């Protein structure tokens, strides 16, 4: 996300599939939480809704960045079960696509090379599994985050 002087310094948002795309909706939720302004709420809801298709897009560990920032914060603040359903779907997609039972890890970048690749960013994304499991998801999902 950046501003562009060529378009009146309006924000250029990352596409929903980009790894940083969940950060902006997350910041909007935090602004709403701090101000309780309906303006921030409507912006947060709109930006979060734009992320919904990412709940099954788990080609790498970044699904946690995308979904926890947006739907995770929405659920934390508003407690809408529909938001938690998105978090749980994303956690299931992460486990299905990235869990490597032989190594006991969530792989970060399965298409990087022929090795199982795990980077430090995974630590933040493992929270997706724990949040989903602790809020009605399958208990086995949390096992993959330990």
What positions carry a catalytic annotation? Answer: 62, 121
DSSP per-residue string spanning 111-128: TSSSS----TTHHHHHHH
Cα separation of 100 and 97, whole Å?
A: 9
- H/E element holding 143? helix 139-143
Residue 91's φ and ψ, nearest 5 degrees, are -65, -45
| Among candidate residues 51, 78, 82, 67, the one with its CA nearest the CA of residue 125 | 67
User: Contact, 142 vs 134, CB < 8 A?
Assistant: yes
């Amino acid at each position: 996300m950046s501003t562009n002087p060529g378009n009146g310094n309006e924000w250029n948002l990352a596409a929903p599939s980009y790894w940083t795309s969940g950060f902006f909706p997350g910041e909007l939720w935090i602004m709403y939480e701090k101000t309780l302004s309906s303006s921030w709420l409507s912006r947060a809801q709109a930006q979060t809704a734009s992320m919904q298709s990412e709940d099954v897009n788990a080609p790498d560990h970044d699904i946690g960045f995308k979904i926890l920032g947006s739907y995770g914060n929405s659920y934390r603040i508003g407690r809408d079960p529909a938001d938690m359903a998105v978090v749980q779907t994303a956690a299931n997609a992460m486990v299905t696509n990235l869990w490597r039972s032989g190594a006991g890890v969530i792989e970060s970048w399965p298409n990087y090379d022929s090795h199982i690749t795990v980077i430090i960013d995974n630590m933040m994304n493992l929270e997706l599994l724990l949040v989903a499991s602790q809020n009605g998801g399958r208990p086995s999902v949390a096992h993959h985050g330990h």
